[in-house]
Amino acid sequence: MYKELNPPSRILMGPGPSDVHPRVLKAMAMPLVGHLDPSFLQIMNETMELIRMVFETKNELTLSMSGTGSAGMETVFVNILEPGDKVIIGVNGLFGERMTDVAERCGAEVIRVEAPWGEIIQPEQIKAALEKHAGVKAVAVVHAETSTGALQPLFEISRLVHEHDALFIVDAVTSLGGIKVGIDENEVDACYSGTQKCLSAPPGLSPVTFSKRAQEALAKRTSKVQSWYLDLSMLQNYWGQERFYHHTAPISMNYALREALRLVAEEGLEQTWERHWKFGKALQAGLEAMGLSLHVAEEYRLPQLTSVRIPEGIDEAAVRKQLLEQFGIEIGGGLGALKGKVWRIGLMGYSCQPRNVLLFLSALAQVLEQHGYKTSSNESCAAMLETIYG
Ligand SMILES: *Cc1c(COP(=O)(O)O)cnc(C)c1O
């Protein structure tokens, strides 16, 4: 017979998923109700309000898609783009690259604006692309590029996009609940996120939001949305007043998201961001005190995902394996252009706690010493504590 499920105890400090708060796990263990049960309808309504709160938006069309962050990405592109539409996409990491693939599958003409992995897309690059190509329908960027650790400023690009009457699309999968996204302030027209990064719920849902301008563009479509499952014109009737059956919402995941968002509301949105900044900076100070160098320039460095360069001659996979096996700590390796070059350390949501930073820094210093890299665990932890407590 198969044994009872007994997953190992881990500290999730990779690029996601992050550790899940016990209250979220408890919410998921609650009994099911039907997805059209009046009590579930109330849960859906409350969840929509809470999603608006974290996105900082009044957008009516705000709901959670059934699927992970990539389903949110696909939702935005399949609904906004029709075959032949032009879209400018900022590519400075894996997720920008994924957006181009999704947009091409919609039959759109993709105009790539690129920057090296770890850098940001400059507003001038977007400006030049908008001036070169007439009739661009949308411009998309990744707010928090999880594959590199870079934080993309939004406002200036948003202004340029709207000057050219295009829609502004933002990937906020790793930013939402970790740093300010500010949908209304930044005039973002379409945005998607995910549950398992800074919202600290398991993977499975993708909160999305669309501005009035985006809704008007959806209403003007002349062709059917290519995806039945992700077609917002039908989903709006499921999440809206009609409550028209579309698909069965994943009930337990919706319990989880509601509880995760309630935790953010309880802590306070600003306090949540402050916590990420504080402990993210502390981690970064600790890594630098160890003599390691961070991949992203300080001004564009995310707090919730830090990419640190692997020292010469260190077997990066062996270090990660040892961290996992001996200390139960999961961190991520590099992807794409950064494969074999960096480790990616996440401090997202419930994982973003000082005790995790301290444990990770001490464990990494010990493991690196064993691999022949000379460092001081003491100095690293002191630098971390100094950053937090002054
Ligand atoms: C994780 C992530 C995604 C994809 O989300 P999945 O939940 O893995 O489908 C998209 N964009 C960014 C920036 C991410 O970090």
Q: Is the pTM of this model over 0.95?
A: yes
Q: How far is the CA of 194 from the centre of ligand 1 (A)?
A: 7
Unique residue bearing structure tokens 């007043």? 241
**171 touches ligand 1 (CB under 6 Å):** yes
Structure confidence by residue, pLDDT tens digits, 15-65 = 999 999 999 999 999 999 999 999 999 999 999 999 999 999 999 999 999
Is the minimum distance from the CB of 68 to ligand 1 under 6 angstroms?
Answer: yes
CA distances from 2 to 5, 6, 7, 8, 9 (A): 9, 11, 14, 16, 20
For the CA atoms of 79, 83, 85, 89, the dihedral, rounded to the nearest 10 degrees, stands at: 70
Mean pLDDT estimate for the chain: 97
Question: Is pLDDT of 244 > 90?
Answer: no
- Flag whether 344 is marked binding: yes
Cα(18) to ligand 1 centroid in Å equals: 12
Q: State the CATH architecture for 22-266.
A: 3-Layer(aba) Sandwich (3.40)
pLDDT at residue 117 is higher than 90: yes
Question: Could you tell me the distance, in angstroms and rounded to a whole number, from the CA of residue 172 to the centre of ligand 1?
Answer: 9
Q: Is the CB of 142 under 6 A from ligand 1?
A: yes
Q: Which two tokens stand for residue 39?
A: 């009590």
Q: Which helix (H) or strand (E) holds 367?
A: helix 354-370
Residues of the chain with CATH 3.90.1150.10: 269-389
Q: What is the pLDDT of residue 38?
A: 92
Grouping H, G, I as helix, E, B as strand and the rest as coil, residue 140 is strand
Do the beta carbons of residue 93 and residue 142 sit within 8 Å? yes
Residue range(s) occupied by CATH 3.40.640.10 in the chain: 22-266
For residue 200, give both structure tokens.
Answer: 């600290």
Does residue 95 line the site of ligand 1, with CB under 6 A?
yes
The helix/strand/coil state of 293 is coil
Specify the residue with its C-alpha closest to ligand 1, atom 6: 69
- Measured between alpha carbons, how far is residue 384 from residues 89, 279, 282, 376 in Å? 37, 8, 5, 13
What is the phi/psi pair of residue 4, to 5°? Answer: -60, 140
Ligand 1 centre to CA of 325 (Å) is 26
Residue type, position 124, single letter: E
Q: What's the CATH code, domain 269-389?
A: 3.90.1150.10
| Mean pLDDT across 368-378 | 92
What is the structure's pLDDT at 64? Answer: 97
Q: Which atom of ligand 1 is nearest to the CA of 73?
A: 10
